[in-house]
Amino acid sequence: MKFKINKSSTEAQTQVIFDKVLELNKVEFNGPNKLKIGLGEQAINGKIVQKLAIILAQTANQFNLKALFLPVLISKLEVYDFVYIVTQTIANNDYQVQKIDLKKTKENTLQNVTFESGEQSSIDKALATVNGMYFARILGDMPSNICTPTYLAQTAQDMAKEFSLECEILEESDMLILGMGSLLSVSKGSIEPPKLISLSYQGSGDTKPIVLVGKGVTFDSGGISLKPGAGMDEMKYDMCGAASVLGVIRAVAEMKLKVNLTIVVPAVENMPAHNASKPGDVVKSMSGQTIEILNTDAEGRLILCDALTYAQKFNPAVVIDIATLTGAVIVALGKHHSGVMANDQGLADDLIEAGRIAMDTAWQLPLNDEYDELLKSNFADMCNIGGREAGSVTAACFLSRFTKNYRWAHLDIAGTAWVSGAKKGATGRPVLLLIQYILNQI
Strand order in the sheet with 67-70: 4-7, 112-115, 67-70, 15-19, 34-38, 26-29
What's the one-letter identity of residue 258? K
Element (H, E) at 244: helix 240-255
- Give catalytic status of residue 256 as yes or no: no
- Give catalytic status of residue 161 as yes or no: no
Q: How does 197-206 read in b/e, with b if 16+ C-beta sit within 10 Å?
A: bbbbbebeee
| Category of 350 on φ-ψ map: left (φ > 0), alpha (ψ -120 to 50) or beta | alpha
Residues whose CB is less than 8 angstroms from the CB of residue 390 and which lie 6 or more positions away in sequence, other chains included: 328, 371, 374
> Distance between CA 52 and CA 58 in Å, rounded?
10
From 227, 278, 284, 335, active-site residue: 227
DSSP letter string, 104-129 = S----S--EEEESS--HHHHHHHHHH
Helix (H, G, I), strand (E, B) or coil at 378: coil
DSSP letter string, 43-108 = ---HHHHHHHHHHHHHHHHHTT--EEEE---HHHH--TTHHHHHHHHHHHHT-----TT-SS----
From 137, 301, 401, 429, active-site residue: 301
What's the one-letter identity of residue 191? I
Q: List the one residue out of 232, 197, 383, 212 whose CA is nearest residue 302.
A: 383
The catalytic residues are 227, 301
